A = this chain, B = another copy of it.
């Protein structure tokens, strides 16, 4: 880091569109309609491995927040970023990437705070606008009989995290796998996709917007702490139970995911249900939802009365859904980088 705080802020202001932003300690802006607000953190050694390119960290920090707004069906608008960092942190590299990522999404960086800390900890607050006339999405609208759908594959991000622990690296936008990893060519491609999904999640804003516009959706949540845990949250908030269909869930996994898990001696179901950081939407739809909604995502089960969380295997046997997933206050082995 060359230069002090005022120099960095001046450098930053030259890259911002409006004079009204970052000039004072408080940003001023006008929202149309109801606001959606969320905050998420990225901590070095917990959410990402030490030494990760600050530009990649910046994009990931924004992405995990965008995913929350996707689940609310809101349009992202303003961000405020707090950075606690050791002296060597490359603030400009971080902000260059953050501003580029914000610009791609129509988000304005409207405020920030800089502090020193021995541990790199980044927090971003993201504000969005609910679309006029659209019904805000919520996790509380699951009802018995609704079908459960996934907006994208689960478990792949956690597999990518495991590959990072085993030595995979992202260098200049390309994933490099360690030589020690002896995999056939097809699985190497799947491994690179998993690492990329983990480091650079692609929040499902278009899906969230479509669900909000259509108005016929049940519950919506973005999967950050694992399918089992987040589905449990939907059920608890809605006062219902759920039954996953295992063969359907397997069809919704990423290509070659199970083969890659087998080659790495990892449990595909463990990662799919409890790996976390998927940043895809899980949503429920009434059986008679419009066809344009039923075209979204892939069905993996249904909502049931009562509070039980179960899964049905290929033979039709029912099992309780394992209690897997992230608890941010309870460290579990293998869930973080330190």
Q: Could you tell me which A residues sit within 8 Å of B by CB distance?
A: 1, 3-6, 8, 23-31, 33-41, 43, 45-47, 68-69, 71-72, 74, 78, 80-82, 84, 87, 91, 110-119, 121, 123, 125, 127-128, 130, 136, 138-140, 221-222, 224, 233, 237, 327-331, 336
User: Roughly how many angstroms separate A211 CA and B259 CA in the complex, as a whole number?
Assistant: 67
State the main secondary structure of chain A at its contact with B. mixed
Q: Known pairs A26-B72, A38-B111, A115-B328. 18 more at Cβ < 8 A?
A: A4-B330, A6-B233, A23-B140, A24-B139, A26-B38, A26-B128, A27-B37, A28-B36, A31-B35, A37-B78, A39-B125, A41-B82, A41-B115, A46-B116, A87-B331, A111-B125, A118-B119, A119-B121
Nearest CB of B to A92, in Å: 11
Nearest CB of B to A335, in Å: 10
List chain B residues, Cβ under 8 A from A45.
Answer: 118
List chain B residues, Cβ under 8 A from A330.
Answer: 4-5
Q: Which residue of the partner chain, among B71, B121, B127, contacts A117 with CB atoms under 8 Å?
A: B121
Report whether A327 and B39 are in contact in the complex, using a CB–CB cutoff of 8 Å: no
Top 3 nearest A-B pairs (CB, nearest first) are A82-B123, A125-B125, A26-B72
Report whether B221 and A25 are in contact in the complex, using a CB–CB cutoff of 8 Å: yes
List chain B residues, Cβ under 8 A from A128.
Answer: 26
Report whether A28 and B71 are in contact in the complex, using a CB–CB cutoff of 8 Å: no
User: Roughly how many angstroms separate A6 CA and B327 CA in the complex, as a whole number?
Assistant: 8
User: Roughly how many angstroms separate A37 CA and B110 CA in the complex, as a whole number?
Assistant: 8
Report whether B37 and A116 are in contact in the complex, using a CB–CB cutoff of 8 Å: no
Q: Which residue of the partner chain, among B28, B47, B125, B222, contacts A25 with CB atoms under 8 Å?
A: B222
Q: Which residue of the partner chain, among B27, B37, B78, contacts A29 with CB atoms under 8 Å?
A: B37
Report whether A35 and B28 are in contact in the complex, using a CB–CB cutoff of 8 Å: yes
List chain B residues, Cβ under 8 A from A23.
Answer: 138-140, 237
Which interface residue of A47, A74, A118, A237 has the most chain B CB atoms within 10 A? Answer: A118
Report whether B24 and A111 are in contact in the complex, using a CB–CB cutoff of 8 Å: no
Nearest CB of B to A284, in Å: 14
Nearest CB of B to A122, in Å: 9
List chain B residues, Cβ under 8 A from A35.
Answer: 28-31, 35
Report whether A136 and B71 are in contact in the complex, using a CB–CB cutoff of 8 Å: no
